[in-house]
Chain A
Amino acid sequence: MEVERRSLREKQLAARDMLRGDLEGEDLERYVEERVVTTTFEKVQNWARANSIFPLTFGLACCAIEAPISIVTARYDLARFGAEALRASPRQADLIILSGRVSIKMAPVVRRLYDQMLEPKWVMAMGACSSSAGMFSNYAVVQGADKFMPVDIYVPGCPPRPEAVLYGFTKLQRKIMGNPDQSWRRRYDAYGTEEWARGGPRSEPSPEAAEAYSAAKRSVERLREETGEPSLA
C-alpha cells in the first residue's frame, strides 16, 4: 500500500489520536504503515553492530595521541558515531585500533590481545607504521601489522588527522553493515586488478611469478610427501 506523505501537522494530530485511542480502521492502518520498516535480521544486526562499536584503548606510539586520545575529545567526537565506550579489556572490545609502530617485542602481545577479543572483531591499522612500517624499514619494526594479524581497514597518514581516522571509521561501519565501500575500484572501474588477486577476472600474474609460484607449490607438495604430512590441497 502506497503511503502518501502527510504534513507534519497531520501526523501530529494522528499521533495525538492514537494516544487517546481514537484511531480506527483505515486511519489506524495508515498510522502503523508509516512507522514500520521491514528488513532482514542480518541488516538490523549489522546496523546495530556498526553503530555501537566498542574500541579498545590501545595506543602504541605517536598515533595514540591522535587516536584513541584525541578522537574522543570534543572537537573530533567519536561518540557521535556510537563508539563512545572505549573499553580497556580486550574481552569487552570489538575494534582494535593499531595506533603506532609495532615493534618485534610488541607483536606477540598485540596478537595475544587480538586473540582475546571475542567475535565479531575488527582491526583498524591506523597510520603508516602499522599498515606497512612507515618510514621504519629496519630490524626492529614489523613491516606492517598484516604480517601477523588480519586487518580490516588501513588509514594512511603519519599521523593521520583525527578526521581521517573518523573517515576510516565510517568506512569500517559501512563494511560492517554489509556494503563495503568499493572506493577506487568503483571510481576507476578497476575491479579485479588488485595486486594480490591472482585468478581475479582481469589480473594476470607475470609469467616469472606464475612459474615461481608453481615451483614453490611443487616443492612444498614434494616435501609433504617425503615427510608424510597430509596435503593441504
Chain B
Amino acid sequence: MPDAPGLELIRGEIERDCPGAVLATSFDRAQAALVVDPARVLDVLRWLKEQPGQRYAFLSSLHAADYLPNEPRFAVHYELINRDRVERIRVKAMLADPGAEELPEIDSCVEIFPTAHAQEREVFDFFGIAFRGHPNLTRILMPDDYVGWPQRRDFPVGGEPVTFTHTERRYG
C-alpha cells in the first residue's frame, strides 16, 4: 500500500500527465484510493499500468457500490496491484444516476485489462451501469430476461414470509 505521502506523490505525477483526472485522494484505514473523474478513468488506469516506476499492471477486482442516499450514487472501484513493489491502490469513479430509464455510463477498460470482461458484465447485471465499448454487455448471473438491477439499494431483497396457521390472518 503506498502510504499517504506516497499517494500524494502519485497524484502529483498523474496531474502532470493527465491534468484534472484525479478529483481527490483518500487514505482511509491504511488503504490508498484515488477518486477520479469517470470520463478520464481510462487515462488514469493506463497511466498507472504503463508508467515506468508505477506498473500497477494487475487488475485484481472491478466492482461497484451503491451509496444511496449519498450523491453521486454509484461508484465503480478498480483494485490494482503493483506486483514488483507489492502494493495496492484503488481507483474510484463516482457516477450519478441519470434517473428514470437511463443507465449511468462509463468507459470499459477491457482493452487495458482483459480480466474486466466478466467483472464488468457482473456490474452491469447488478447495478445497471453500462460500460461503453464492452464487446458483450449482457446479464451474466441473472436470467437473461430479468427486469431490475438487483444490487441497487432501492431494489427489495425479495423472498416471502413463511406462513403458519397462526399467521395466516396476517398474510391471508
Contacts and interface: CB of A to CB of B under 8 A. Distances in A.
Interface stretch (B23-31, B68-76, B102-110, B154-162): B154-162
Nearest to B168: A209
B18 interface: no
Contacts of A140: 142, 150, 158
Contacts of B168: 205-206, 208-209, 212
B16 interface: no
A179 interface: no
A139 B142 CA distance: 10
Contact of B160 (A137, A205, A208, A212): A137
A229 interface: no
Contacts of A208: 168-169
A113 B172 CA distance: 33
A205 B157 contact: no
Contacts of A205: 165, 168
Contacts of A133: 159
Main secondary structure on B side of the interface with A: loop
A132 B162 contact: yes
B169 A138 contact: no
Contacts of A57: none
A139 B169 contact: no
Contacts of A206: 165-166, 168-169
B52 interface: no
A140 B157 CA distance: 9
Contact of B158 (A132, A139, A212): A139
A195 B169 contact: no
A209 B156 CA distance: 28
A206 B158 CA distance: 28
A143 B159 contact: yes
Contact of A138 (B159, B162, B166): B159
A105 interface: yes
Interface string A21-58: 00000000000000000000000000000000000000
- Report the 4 A-B pairs with minimum CB-CB distance, sorted nearest first: A139-B158, A137-B159, A209-B168, A138-B158
Interface of A: 104-105, 132-133, 136-141, 143, 195, 205-206, 208-209, 212
28 contacts: A105-B142, A105-B143, A133-B159, A136-B159, A137-B157, A137-B158, A137-B159, A137-B160, A138-B158, A139-B150, A139-B156, A139-B157, A139-B158, A139-B159, A140-B142, A140-B150, A141-B159, A143-B160, A195-B164, A205-B165, A206-B165, A206-B166, A206-B168, A206-B169, A208-B168, A209-B168, A212-B168, A212-B172
